[in-house]
Structure 1
Amino acid sequence: MARLPYLNPEDLAEADRPLLKRMITLHRCLVNSPGAARAFSGLGQYIRYGMKLDPRLRELAILQVGWLARSPYEWSHHVKIGHDFGVTDEDVTALIAETDGKPNGLEPLAKLVLKGAREVYAGGMSAGTFAELQQHFDNEAMVDLTVTAAFYCAVVRTLASLAIDVEPEYQPYLDKFPFPA
């Protein structure tokens, strides 16, 4: 159960109601601070719709952070969102295997993106991994990948700290790809 109330549009000032155009529990809790919700949403929208980084690779990086954090909300939402941007069930299974150092079918660039996301999650991407990624991405994509992984590190910590509930419609994604016991 969330530590703060889930608000509805009628609970907000008229100018803040558009913050709840998606009535997901994360947004319904964040609007307890409309300014924070607006800032949070701005970067999230850029990551999803504005950056030039390949959307499948972006979603794999986000999923890597969600998996490492064992964040039910992030994991379930981005398995679904990932599907919308080209992530397959096979990719999700391979990500889990890659995280455990097991053989999998991901292509080398996807494995490298996951390695970079794991390093950002652990505190910062190493110079070696950064240099390897620069062989594939221009400066803009390097910033976009780094900001994506770092932002989702903040997202999973926000979700955990506010104890945001997973909506029932996302539970099937947790059931299909559960965290280890």
Structure 2
Amino acid sequence: MSPGPGLPPLGDGDIPEKLARVIEAWPYKLHRTLAHSPDTLLTWLPFGEHILMHNTLPFREREIAILRVGWNARCAYEWGMHSIVARRGGFGESDFEALCVGAESPHWTPGEAAIVAAVDDMQSRWTIGEEVWGELAQHYAPDQIVDLVWLSGNFMTISLQLNALRVPLEDGLPPLPEDRPHYTRAT
């Protein structure tokens, strides 16, 4: 997150009444910052919840994609929040190390490597290259590929919001590793 001006998360006394239930369910600084635009938050949230928790990708693949988006976007908030979620879901240190390396890491299964490569392509080329598309198609059904693109795009947007609005980190988030390059794939 960049220092400097941003929008402060709204405190409890400043939350519009129509957002009370949303903030009760999602009490995070991201949602409290997005509450500056209540109607947009209310419109986006059902989609965000669906794409996060109910799309056709398995949990592991979803978190790999989200964490790689956060890594590529240098979004400490996204990386930290989803590091916690991923650890609760069984991710270990070798998973996080591989996320910082990229699709070339021997840690990944071929399908997982395709997810990482697809995220890298989408963030660096605004598409998925033919070779990576071929790998994805070998491991995932068409509905899963569509959901991967929706998931990645949504979390690219969230990372942009977090970084651009300078949303403060939640207390206790693990830091974003700083010792590796931004992208590992050729662009």
Offset from partner CA, 1:60-108 (integer Å, 9 cap, x none): 0111111111111111111111123332221111121236x4x432222
Q: SS state of the match for residue 169, structure 1?
A: coil
Matched, 1:27 2:31: yes
Partners in 1 of 2:92 and 2:44 — Cα distance?
Answer: 27
**Alignment of structure 1 residues 115-154 onto 2, 5 Å:** 115-122=117-124, 123-154=126-157
Q: Which runs of 5+ in 1 are unaligned?
A: none
The answer as to whether partners of 1:30 and 1:37 remain within 8 angstroms in 2 is yes
**8 Å contact kept, 1:2–1:165:** no
Out of 8, 15, 29, the residue aligned to residue 18 of structure 2 is: 15
Pick from 41, 45, 52: which aligns with 2:49? 45
Deviation digits for residues 9-53 of structure 1 (CA, Å, limit 9, x no counterpart): 432332221121222111110001111212332222112221120
Choose from 144, 165, 170 the match for 1:167: 170
Amino acid of the structure 2 residue aligned with 1:179: E
Identity of aligned residues (%): 26
Q: Distance in 2 between matches of 1:18 and 1:69?
A: 30
Change in CA separation of 1:53 and 1:72 when aligned onto 2, cut-off 3 Å: same
Q: Distance in 2 between matches of 1:139 and 1:48?
A: 18
Deviating more after overlay: 26-35 vs 124-133: 124-133
| 8 A Cα contact 2:5 2:166, kept in partner | yes
More moved, 43-52 vs 111-120: 43-52
- Whether 1:64 aligns to 2:68 is yes
Measured at CA, do residues 28 and 2 of structure 1 come closer, stay the same or move farther in structure 2, by a change above 3 Å?
A: farther
Match of 1:5 in 2: 8
- Report the RMSD for the aligned CA atoms in angstroms: 1.9
Aligned CA distance change for structure 1 residues 38 and 87 (closer, same or farther; 3 Å) = farther
Aligned partners of 1:59 and 1:87 also within 8 Å: no
Structure 1 runs (4+) deviating above 6 angstroms are none
- Aligned residue among 113, 116, 128 for 1:114: 116
Distance of 2:57 and 2:172 partners within structure 1: 28
Quick one: which amino acid aligns to residue 41 of structure 2? Answer: A
Q: CA deviation at 1:150?
A: 1.2
SS of the residue corresponding to residue 66 of structure 2 reads helix
Q: Does residue 158 of structure 1 match 2:155?
A: no
Tell me which protein shows more helix as a share of its residues.
1
